[in-house]
Each structure stands twice: as structure tokens, then as C-alpha cells.
């Protein structure tokens, strides 16, 4: 049993090492690098927002907050892992989004509008909560008002990140980056529907204590 387990681990480690080496050998394009950096920033704030809802105060949203935290931590780890393998910084050295003009396909209305929105966004990307909004979420006592604010902020956050993810799913040069971007599109589109349903429910002055659990599948 032990010998078989050790042999399986050796094979698995060899496969992981080969995958890492293959990813290093593939030359990342600016799109691959910038997507990993900027979506990383996006994910970091989603994690921070979700963890605020897991601070022990009363909330009906613990389930979806845990789901978002887990999913985005896993994806963030993958993106940061790529950047380290490529010898690139985790944070971009510039805050403009003009790298999204480097795709092969003609510009579409969503992309152009997204770039305009980025230029107008206080935090550099649409959907990112401002420091004042984050502070408000921290200071509100647990309850319906705080839950509603979280739902509004996370809904805007997810909607704001979708155009970037859709762009990378089409235009990233490396297959692992396209795969992760497509995964972000699918997951966040599903969560947007959940967040909208929960926000509608909250407008009726009720958020069921297990709503986050049932809607998130957690």
C-alpha cells in the first residue's frame, strides 16, 4: 500500500513539474500578464469584501461569502503562480487598461465602453468598491442593511469584472489563461444571478439565514 502510494505521488509530482516547465517555456503575451495582474487585483477585493461578511456578525450571506472567498482564492493563487513562473510582478507597473487593445479580433462595443468606464472609475476599474464603501461595510452592524450593502457592492464588482474576463477568454495567448478567464465568466455570471435574487429577496425585508448556503451550493 505504502509503496503504491509513494509511486503514485512520484508520478503526480512528475506531471506537475512537466506542466510547470511547459508553462514557463510558453512565452506569455502582454495580455496574459496584464490579465493575471489586473484580475488578481479584482479578486483580492472580492475576497476582502467576502471576508468582511465572515467576521462573526449576524448575516444571512455567510454561504455565498464562503463560496466567493474559496473560488477566488484558488483562482488568485493560480494567477499569482503564473506571474512568479514568468518572473513578473504580481502588481502591474501601470494602472491603465490599454493592454486590452492588443487583441486580434476587432474592437466591439462592450470593450470600448469598458475602457471608457475604466477611465472614469475612481479605483481604475469599474465595479471596484471605493475605500469609503469598504469602510461603510466594516462599520455597519450585522443585519439586513449590511447584507444589502454587501450584495450591491459584490454585484457591481462581479459585473465590472466580466468584460475583462470575456476579453481574456477570447484573446489571451496561453491556453491556461484562456481557460481560467472562461471559468471566471461562467462562475461570476452564475453568482450574479444569485446575488440579484438575494438582493430582490432582501428588498422584501427578509434574507433567510441559510440563503447564502442554498444559493451557493455550499
Q: Can you read off the three cell numbers belonging to residue 22?
A: 511547459
Question: What pLDDT does 218 receive?
Answer: 35
Question: What pLDDT does 106 receive?
Answer: 87
Domain ranges of the chain: 29-216
- Measured distance CA(152)–CA(94) in Å, rounded: 28
- Measured distance CA(34)–CA(184) in Å, rounded: 16
Q: How far is CA 36 from CA 91, 199, 202, in A?
A: 9, 30, 34
Is 206 in contact with 165 (CB distance < 8 Å)? no
Domain 29-216 is found in CATH 1.20.1260.10: yes
Specify the pTM. Answer: 0.83
Q: Per-10-residue mean pLDDT for the chain, 218 residues long? A: 56 60 75 98 98 95 97 98 97 93 91 95 94 96 96 98 98 98 98 96 65 42
List Cβ neighbours of 32 (8 Å cut-off, separation of 6 or more).
82, 172, 173, 174, 177
Amino acid at each position: 500500500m505504502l509503496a503504491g502510494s509513494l509511486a503514485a505521488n512520484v508520478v503526480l509530482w512528475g506531471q506537475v513539474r512537466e506542466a510547470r516547465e511547459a508553462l514557463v517555456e510558453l512565452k506569455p503575451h502582454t495580455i496574459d500578464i496584464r490579465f493575471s495582474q489586473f484580475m488578481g487585483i479584482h479578486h483580492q477585493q472580492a475576497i476582502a469584501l467576502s471576508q468582511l461578511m465572515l467576521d462573526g456578525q449576524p448575516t444571512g450571506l455567510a454561504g455565498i461569502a464562503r463560496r466567493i472567498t474559496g473560488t477566488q482564492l484558488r483562482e488568485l493563487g493560480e494567477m499569482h503562480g503564473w506571474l512568479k513562473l514568468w518572473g513578473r510582478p504580481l502588481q502591474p507597473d501601470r494602472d491603465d487598461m490599454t493592454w486590452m487593445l492588443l487583441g486580434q479580433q476587432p474592437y466591439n462595443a462592450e470593450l470600448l465602453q469598458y475602457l471608457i468606464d475604466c477611465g472614469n472609475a475612481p479605483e481604475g476599474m469599474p465595479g471596484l468598491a471605493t475605500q469609503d464603501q469598504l469602510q461603510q461595510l466594516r462599520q455597519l452592524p450585522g443585519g439586513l442593511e449590511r447584507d444589502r450593502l454587501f450584495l450591491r457592492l459584490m454585484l457591481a464588482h462581479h459585473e465590472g469584472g466580466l468584460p475583462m474576463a470575456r476579453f481574456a477568454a477570447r484573446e489571451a495567448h496561453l491556453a491556461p489563461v484562456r481557460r481560467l478567464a472562461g471559468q471566471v465568466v461562467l462562475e461570476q455570471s452564475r453568482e450574479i444571478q444569485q446575488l440579484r435574487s438575494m438582493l430582490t429577496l432582501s428588498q422584501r425585508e427578509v434574507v433567510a439565514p441559510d440563503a447564502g448556503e442554498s444559493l451557493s451550493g455550499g
